[in-house]
With several copies, the nearest count.
Chain A
């Protein structure tokens, strides 16, 4: 069902946790839909210096969350905004079809966190 990479990221998720004084926080999903992904960002000079995630969801949800954090760590915010759910899925050697649309939302959570950061910055 799941690729080896998915299982690896599920079993050994990278960057799990939260950043207490995060510069940006993004969250997608809600408890009733089955998957919730929350991304915390630490930004320095428009670059993602640190990123952590918390996820409630299936194997795909955990793996995509983990993968997205690994992909974008060190990226500029603009670069990170270009990372799509599709790219995350590909980096994991694909996801089962029924998981593609529902549990592949980690990039959305990332984008929400970046927007949260930008809103806060703009509001400063």
Chain B
């Protein structure tokens, strides 16, 4: 049986070159970057070289890049740090209905501290509009927080437009770029963001390494206290091998970006067309064209996502049902609901995300394995095709009342 990993949006395998570098470093040096002796200086240099690489790729200055332990930490630092630092100026935050949990729940936590939220709705493709942002701005607005590439459906938000607006209004703007950095060209100045979060493990870098861009001059408050690492913006001994790995992974991702985007677009389109043409009652979610090259997300009516996921797993195909870190496990995706997908349909979502190592053969294997699985689960579903021609349950029979 093939082994197909189609869940690169959850986390990616570490690029072999990156793993090699990290393991080499692990064996060679063990200094603390804050130490003044040679092993410490080697560690410091390793960290700063990575910082320069990352900064250059994102169009930032090295001192605008803070290394963190991952995407969630970056997002928490960005959103809480920027909002709290402006508490005296105002208490209004604008965000969207399709943010990742890290943003969503951080904003909700700020609500309890006295901030008010405007959660912008999205259209059926998951798009926020800059006009909506403009209308939502009040004299109290201290932060605009909009995801760049949506992690469940792949829609790319109009961050450039929102960035221009934010700069016009002088309001700080954070974007969660966990799924765009390393996959799309991302330049903090082109995007016009003041804060930007990203995570190495989404672009074949290691777990345990994230980044936060903080534009020079942005008022910002830190979340944790301790040593003087990262200019005191993120304290604690730096995870040197992970930072090294992140720098290299981003470099590799960017060097290969155009080629791999084109490659994944072809694979993804083959997959999407294959699914849509063979499986009835199936919809592609997210924007049809303004989307990540490597992600496709579907709803297969009448069957539940996890049961599809488990069945595919039985065929050694790894996909996700919605997002990997859905916190309210049994609730349907807030993203799909925000896009107007009916609750029962939202329960049937599957996200397929391509990445390093995936081939056309993987796609074809998937396309061969999926239809019988959906068929089997539908046959088991009380929502699909009532087999009782004389069904007397009426309204109680979901299969009779469900649209076919």
Question: Known: A27-B396, A32-B344, A34-B304. Contact between A56 and B332, CB under 8 A?
Answer: no
Cβ–Cβ contact A54 & B380, under 8 A = yes
The stretch among A9-17, A41-49, A71-79, A85-93 that forms the contact with chain B is A9-17
Closest chain-A Cβ to B100's Cβ sits at a distance in Å of: 20
Cβ–Cβ contact B304 & A56, under 8 A = yes
Give the residue of B347, B393, B396 whose beta carbon is less than 8 angstroms from that of A34. Answer: B347
Q: How far is the CA of A89 from the CA of B388 in the complex (A)?
A: 30
Cβ–Cβ contact B304 & A58, under 8 A = yes
Q: Does A123 contact B (CB under 8 A)?
A: no
Chain A to chain B contacts (Cβ below 8 Å), 21 pairs: A27-B382, A27-B396, A30-B398, A31-B343, A31-B347, A32-B343, A33-B330, A34-B330, A35-B304, A36-B383, A36-B398, A38-B382, A54-B381, A55-B381, A56-B347, A56-B382, A56-B383, A58-B306, A58-B330, A61-B304, A102-B329
Q: Does B27 contact A (CB under 8 A)?
A: no
**Given contact pairs A16-B380, A56-B380, a sample of 16 additional A-B residue pairs in the complex whose CB atoms are under 8 Å apart:** A17-B387, A18-B387, A18-B388, A30-B398, A31-B398, A32-B343, A32-B344, A34-B304, A34-B332, A36-B383, A54-B381, A55-B382, A56-B303, A56-B304, A57-B304, A59-B36
Q: Does B379 contact A (CB under 8 A)?
A: yes
Residues of B within 8 A of A1 (CB): 36, 41, 44
Q: How many residues of A contact B (CB 8 A)?
A: 32
Residues of A within 8 A of B41 (CB): 1
Q: Does A64 contact B (CB under 8 A)?
A: no
Residues of B within 8 A of A25 (CB): 393
Cβ–Cβ contact A98 & B329, under 8 A = yes
Residues of chain B having any CB pair with chain A under 8 Å: 36, 41, 44, 302-304, 306-307, 310-311, 314, 329-332, 343-344, 347, 379-383, 387-388, 390, 393, 396, 398, 402
Residues of A within 8 A of B310 (CB): 2, 7, 10, 58-59
Q: How far is the CA of A13 from the CA of B302 in the complex (A)?
A: 18
Give the residue of A16, A35, A57 whose beta carbon is less than 8 angstroms from that of B379. Answer: A16
Cβ–Cβ contact A13 & B380, under 8 A = yes
Question: Known: A1-B41, A20-B388. Contact between A103 and B398, CB under 8 A?
Answer: no
By Cβ-Cβ distance, the 9 closest A-B pairs, closest first, are A31-B344, A58-B306, A54-B382, A32-B343, A38-B382, A56-B381, A102-B330, A59-B310, A98-B329
Q: Does A51 contact B (CB under 8 A)?
A: no
Q: How far is the CA of A58 from the CA of B308 in the complex (A)?
A: 9
Cβ–Cβ contact B314 & A11, under 8 A = yes
Chain A residue at minimum C-beta to C-beta distance from B329? A98
Chain A residue at minimum C-beta to C-beta distance from B35? A1
Task: For chain A, residues 78 to 117, give those with C-beta under 8 angstroms from any C-beta of chain B.
Answer: 98, 102-103
